[in-house]
Structure 1
């Protein structure tokens, strides 16, 4: 026996024998986790104690492990409950890892634990009821996981808890009243959870030690309870992005310690309550995007505010002079109200004003000269007001300015010379005022200028040569002025130029040589000037140019044949002095108005040439036409004979089988199954896939339908880019019928009926003449999808998915959202289609179901799907985010060019390494850049790796609509086309730029 024991000792490595018991526990932890970055490689078994290991802290007296911090180490695996065997452990942090599974219930045995941070992981399941049994727990942060279900009623029993953060999870139910029993709480953060609609529990007013209360986007309804006024220690109150209504309770004026109040994006009404002057500690208040009204209280403006955001309400009257006395005011956003009068004369004199946005009001008078007195002003946004007079000379010395929008006012006089050359300004917009004088040579100093918009003013004189020094200039809009002289030769140095619009001026001379350097030029509009000479052949090499207007000038000579290489949406060379033959590619109906008023120009379009030589060729043309007509008649007679023979043969063949078909209709039909069956010929085939074939059927009443023909069998793995194993055609058919048979929505494809027989099943849909988004976007026809069309498609598809997720009872998850399953009608309206993989979400509200296999299409599958197999709406939102990235980039979701990356990873990597311009599809008009950036942001938000960070589909629709009105109804029209540089809403929240 002794011999065996000695043999055992010799077989155990000496290093293992030297490590104490706590070290052995931590070694077990190391081996239980996936550590791809070798973050635990320094945990050496040969050490006596783990106290010097990275992430491990020991108590100085007992030399026992007291803290474990493994934040940001990319660890994965289940939470290791063996940590509770460390007797003196008081703090655990696994912040920002990939810990998965659930929190074990025996975590309650960590009796000394005071600090537990498991935020930003992949933990799932219900919140453990036993967490409240940790007698010493002070700090609990479970932010950014996938916890679901209700907040357990045991959470009202915490004895010492001061911080409770459950942000960005999948919690439902309503915010429970028993949380008001945790009298020790100093911070309560439940933001961004899909709670059921419910009010703010009045019991939260019992948390008299509370300093931070965040309930952002918690589906709150009802009024703000008066009891919150009892939270005398509260410093930060955030109730934003809910559906709260009613007035702001007067009790809130008793929060004498409050530093920040966030009430934005609710439905609050009425005016501010009296007593706001009691909030002497208040530095920031944001009550924007409500329905508040009345004057802005003078007592509010007398507070030592740093940030005041009251935009998108119905405030009226003038701005109190007292606002100028706030010594720390750096942000003032009041746009989209009904404010009148002049700005306080001392605004900016006593405070480091940084952001000023008062657009879309009725302010008048001159701008105060003190706005930039502290040298901090970065954004000056005053568009759509009634300001007048000159710009203050002091603004020409405001070196901190980055963004200036003073358009749509009544400013006049010359722009200060220094204003043109501010070194950090990237957007300078002076549109639609009465400015005069010249564009100063000092513009050479505006090295960061990207957009120069001076349209519709009284500027005169030549465009300075120094304009060509602005190497970052993307857009130069100077139309409708009195500019004269020739274009400076240096302008060809602007290699990033995407939009040059100088129409309606008095410019003259020839176009400069070297314009082939404008490789990114998308729009060139020089109409209604006095330019002369020949149109440069080099214009034909500008590959992304799609808008060219040189009309009403004095250009002469021939039209360059190279223009035929361009993919132009608009071409106008009318009313010049052009001559010679029209290039053959332009002899089309779409160009019938592009060449009018050029007497010497000849071609096959009506209105060109004077008819010389016409008689000479008349006889020859008549002979050709006669031969052509005879040949066409012979061909048509032969085809009719063949068709009649073929049809009689097919009808005879099908006569036996028609009686075996069963028809199930979902709408009132004007056709029978026999009419459908007669048209299922290969001549009518328009598509084929792994589940069957799709036919275009023209009915006798003139209506067109699409018929999908399914048959039995099993789908092969990853066939046609799909990755669901063993999916039987019967399941596809049943899912399609069950889903579409009950749905009525303008953005869901309509299922007219289904026809079944023993061996074959037919689904009859409305016909979409423009096919699928994927086929169109990734083909040579992608030029048809300009930016407004792509935006409309994104919004239509989002509304369809939002209907499935939020308006269907029970909710429906599509599970195969992709560009090929978004169909386009004749007006490019989008319909979501192909519900063969759709699943109904558990109507009990107990969370998402787990599937036995992965369903979806390569490149569109959410990352968590692969390891959780959990089906919920967040999976669809990820896939839709990929579709948005396709629309923005024009690229496939999976491409060999990406290597091992998919589109999402490629976009993120390219943004980091090269910048946003390398991501956007070069076919898109650069004048839509701001909208494109916003849509790109929404796509990135939808494809967030953590499901909880993805917005609900209803929220996605709202985000898209916030982009949409700016690009459509709020866009200024000029010369019959949209000019989307100009927005009524001056705030560009969340721009990637």
Structure 2
């Protein structure tokens, strides 16, 4: 046994001697490096210890057999940074470990690598502080630590690098201010500190000393104050990016001295004043993005004479006209000026000299015709000019622009016939011509518009029949053509539109009958054919449209009976008035609340005032006699017993009831099919379905079979802090009044319906529609969370988003919910979502100084937007953040706060886990992996909504649009520009004020 062990030792020693004899010293160091790293893909398999030198190994470069460079980028190796090993290589000058899994902290021993010129550790998992001794590397010229988890402040010593030319610390967790000592790095050519959560601080004036600087990127660095005038000293600067901060004041005039500038990005700040005169001196400028500020004045003529490629000045306060010289820019491909106060005609040669791709001039006061040259170079994709005073015909040249995808000409003064080629453009998915004076008919060439999803033609002078070719548009989701003069019947082919969600042709001259086969409209939500001349019967198959929410067939020539199946639909609005309907109404519709839905139909007979004066001669005498006999007998038999029971137990009954019916006041907000007595009789403990510090919630089954939910609130009691709630000092009376005031005046399919309220001195009742599936929070985080598959969760997200979008964009003034959370999203029997609990909602009325601030915080832990906690400023962005948290709950299946997160909430936990482990560790394991692509898209929407900067959060209207696109088309992902996000993925502003 001992001989065997001795033999093994001998073999090991012989092997070691052989390796030492074969591999030189630097090779041994690198082999030791291999042993210290994880290499799951065996990318270092060529590192063979039997070689004499490592010079032929993967990623190794030698000069005269000495290692000078090591490039292991994108190899997926992991482990701590091997500084102690690498620094033993005397001539090593180049180290590139980009995009790996190098983790732990950077130790001070890295300062021993005295020969290093280039160090790239970007896109790894490094954490902890920046090494203070790193500036001790005398030859270092390039340092990139971007995309890690480094934290703490930038050490003051980082201003003492003797030879540094590139410093990039993008996308870390660095705090503290930007140190003024960085102004000592006079050899620096590129400084990129973007996307770090620095404390609010000024741009150091000393950065003006970096006279060799070519690139300065300080995007989203929490910068405040003025842009220092000293930046005008950076005479070699080519790219200046100060976007996504809170800078204010004017753009310094000294910036026009930077004649080498090619790109200026100042978007999403609070800059004011005019664009500085002399911008025409920047003869190399290709991109200027100063959008979403408060800039004023005219657009300088000398700016528009530059060879620009992209000009984004949207959402400012510019006035004046558009300089004709803008059309002379030979490289201009993007021009976005919407949301200003510009007027005058458009340059008629715009697009003739440049490959124009994106043109958005919406929400200005431009007048005159569209330039015929917009698509001369054949590149135009988006033409957005809504809300202007433009007039004339659509230029025929646009009919041949095959690259167009979005055309929005609405809310102008255009006239004439639409060129036939426009109808059939193959890539257009949105064609909006609403509120103009267009005439003529829809051309049969529309058959070629295979990508068309939204066709919006309302409020024009279109006429003629609807062509059969419309039925070939398989992707059509909305067809709105109200307030025109279309004639003839709806084509039979229209039933082929399986994706159709909205069909609106009210106020036209349509005739004929409804086509057969409308049951194929499985996704139809809104059908409005009011005020036409359509006849025939209302088909029974209309009851198969299970998601139908709005049905208006009023003022037509429909006859026959009302389909029985209509009573099974969950309609938010029903209007069949002023037709020729006859017979008796279905039982569930023969209620007072539906009276106005059926007036003007003389043949209908039901005991509702205004619909039928009596039961007429149709009732047989025998039936009446039998009914009276039964009544008399019943009266004689039970009269004595009933009277005795009443007097005997009246006092007992009244004592048992805590509610005196005689003192109740009823306020209804819809037509009711019940009385307050019917509600009060059911408020016993057997019907309680929920309770809290404010009161109880009862399930009440009415005599008609309908079910309602009743919230009983005791007056005069302060609301205590419940689990997750942080609102303090609110009185329940205020919450009740707010709920009644808000829900009493709004109507939407995704807002919980408040039927009525009942009040007395000591108690208040709110009567809502009943939601069989309870709240999203209880269901998602309870034992039945597995029932919510991804399609159901997606439907809930869309419904809730549409409800909030209605509050933000369609209510005047807008309403902010202030307590959006999963427990305040209720689910009906089909898992349709309703936004509920408006006890702390506020109408947003802006003051001259901005948005009104509140005296207390309202909301729930984990859902409160970070800026709301310290500014108390009420606006829609707070709701959007809370909705984003709900989106993350739907994707992850996690609660907004959880002991597992420690001191973090769901948003912070998601961001940390995403960076460290990836998205696969975040998706709820109960969800089917086949939906992963759609889930990831929804997850990205949740991240956008929970952006720490309110200005980065999309509007709810934009959120609805993005959610609707999930699963139906590939979304355009944010482009990256040398490692940083391009500003052009913020598309929200282009969809303001209209259907999208």
Q: Does 2:889 correspond to 1:875?
A: no
How big is the shift at 1:545? 1.9
Q: Secondary structure at the match of 2:111?
A: helix
State the alpha-carbon separation in 1 of the partners of residues 644 and 26 from structure 2: 96
Q: What is the distance in 1 between the residues matched to 2:731 and 2:105?
A: 39
1:564 aligned partner: 567
- How far has the Cα of 1:436 moved from its partner? 0.6
Question: C-alpha offsets along residues 737-790 of structure 1, whole Å, 9 cap, x if unaligned?
Answer: 9x666999999999xxxxxxxxxxxxxxx9999885524898999799664434
Q: CA deviation at 1:71?
A: 2.2
1:951 aligns with 2:954: no
Deviates more, 1:101-110 or 1:19-28: 19-28
Name the residue aligned to 1:106.
Answer: 109
* Residues 105, 128 of structure 2: 8 Å contact kept: yes
Kindly indicate whether residue 825 of structure 2 is the aligned counterpart of residue 789 of structure 1.
no
Q: Distance in 2 between matches of 1:632 and 1:700?
A: 35
For the residue of structure 1 that corresponds to 2:519, the secondary structure is helix
* Residues 607 and 614, structure 2, Cα contact 8 Å, conserved in 1: no
* 1:821 Cα offset (Å): 8.1
Within 5 A, what are the aligned runs for 1:263-342?
263-342=266-345
Distance 2:39 2:960 in 1: 48
C-alpha distance in 2, partners of 1:199/1:551? 63
SS of alignment partner, residue 490 of structure 1: helix
The Cα of 1:271 is off from its aligned counterpart by 1.6
Tell me, in whole angstroms, the C-alpha distance in 1 between the residues paired with 2:79 and 2:116. 21
Tell me what 1:206 maps to: 209
Of 169, 189, 202, 1:166 maps to 169
Distance change (3 Å), C-alpha of 1:701 and 1:459: closer
Deviation at 1:366, TM superposition (A): 0.9
Mapped partners of 1:119, 1:525: distance in 2:
57
Q: Which residue of 2 aligns with 1:79?
A: 81
Deviation at 1:965, TM superposition (A): 13
Which range is displaced more, 60-69 or 10-19? 10-19
1:488 and 2:488 are equivalent in the alignment: no
Pairs within 5 Å for 1:85-164: 85=87, 87=89, 88-164=91-167
- Give the equivalent residue in structure 2 for 1:407: 410
Q: Is the 8 A contact 2:695 2:713 kept in 1?
A: no
Work out the CA distance in 1 between the residues paired with 2:629 and 2:4.
Answer: 118
Give the 3-state SS of the residue equivalent to 1:191 in structure 2.
coil
**TM-score of the aligned structures, taking structure 1 as reference length:** 0.72
2:384 is equivalent to residue 381 of structure 1: yes
Aligned length: 827
Task: Indicate if the aligned counterparts of 1:696 and 1:706 stay in contact, CA closer than 8 A.
Answer: no
- Distance in 1 of aligned mates of 2:640 and 2:176: 76
Asked whether the equivalents of residues 113 and 137 of structure 1 are also in contact (C-alpha less than 8 Å), the reply is yes
1:397 to 396, 400, 415: 400
User: Aligned partners of 2:837 and 2:320: how far apart in 1?
Assistant: 49
Q: What displacement does 1:342 show?
A: 0.6
Q: Which runs of 5+ in 2 are unaligned?
A: 659-683, 699-710, 738-763, 769-773, 827-834, 842-857, 871-888, 915-921, 963-985
TM-superposed deviation, 1:345 = 1.7
Q: Deviations over 1:783-831 (max 9, x none)?
A: 9966443457999999969xxxxxxxxxxxxxxx972488976447676
- Find out whether 1:544 has 2:547 as its counterpart: yes
2: CA distance, partners of 1:837 / 1:286: 31
Q: Using CA pairs below 8 Å that are at least 6 residues apart, which structure has the higher relative contact order?
A: 1
Q: d(CA) in 2 for partners of 1:77 and 1:867?
A: 26
Query: Are residue 859 (structure 1) and residue 879 (structure 2) matched?
Result: no
Counterparts of 1:390 and 1:316 in 2: how far apart (Å)?
26
TM-fit CA distance, 1:440? 0.9
Q: Are 2:41 and 1:8 equivalent residues in the alignment?
A: no
8 Å CA contact 1:15–1:45 kept in 2: the answer is no
* Cα displacement string for residues 557-598 of structure 1 (whole angstroms, at most 9, x for unaligned residues): 222223334322222222212222322232345433222222
Local SS of the residue matching 1:10: helix
Residues 455-476 of structure 1, C-alpha deviations (whole Å, 9 max, x = no match): 1000000011111122221111
Query: Contact (CA 8 Å) 2:116, 2:140: kept in 1 or not?
Result: yes
Conserved 8 A contact 1:359-1:383: yes
Q: Which residue does 1:419 correspond to in 2?
A: 422
Instruction: State the match for 2:455 in structure 1.
Output: 452
Task: Summarize the Cα distance change of 1:821–1:605 in structure 2 as closer, same or farther, 3 Å threshold.
Answer: closer
SS in 2 for 1:289: coil
Which residue of 330, 349, 354 maps to 1:351? 354
Counterparts of 1:568 and 1:591, CA distance in 2:
11
State whether structure 2 residue 262 is matched by structure 1 residue 259: yes
Compared with structure 1, are the counterparts of its residues 694 and 364 closer, same or farther at alpha carbon in structure 2 (3 Å cutoff)?
A: closer
**Aligned residues of 2:346 and 2:370 also touching (Cα < 8 A):** yes
Separation of aligned partners in 2, 1:629 and 1:22 = 113
Q: Any idea what SS the aligned residue of 1:164 has?
A: strand
Aligned to 1:582: 585
CA contact (8 A) 1:874 1:952 kept: no
- The residue that corresponds to 2:222 in the other structure is 219
Q: Distance in 1 between matches of 2:643 and 2:346?
A: 77
**Following superposition of structure 1 onto structure 2, how do residues 173-252 of structure 1 map, counting pairs within 5 Å?**
173-252=176-255
Structure 2 distance, partners of 1:621, 1:530, is 48
1:819 paired with 2:791, answer: no
- State the secondary structure of the residue aligned to 1:396: helix
The 1:490/1:512 distance shift into structure 2, 3 A limit, reads same
Residues 818/40 of structure 1: CA separation in 2 closer, same or farther (3 Å cut):
farther
- Partners of 2:713 and 2:355 in 1: how far apart? 74
1:910 to 925, 930, 934: 934
How far does residue 628 in structure 1 lie from its aligned partner after superposition? 12
Instruction: Give, in whole Å, the separation in 1 of the partners of 2:628 and 2:797.
Output: 41
The residue that corresponds to 2:557 in the other structure is 554
User: Following the alignment from structure 2 to structure 1, what is the Cα–Cα distance between the partners of residues 653 and 797?
Assistant: 39
In the alignment, is the contact (CA less than 8 A) between 2:720 and 2:728 conserved in 1? no
Taking the TM superposition and a 5 Å limit, the aligned residue runs for 1:696-775 are: 702=715, 773-775=776-778
C-alpha displacement of 1:413: 0.8
State the alpha-carbon separation in 2 of the partners of residues 336 and 878 from structure 1.
33
Change (3 A) 1:308 1:140: same
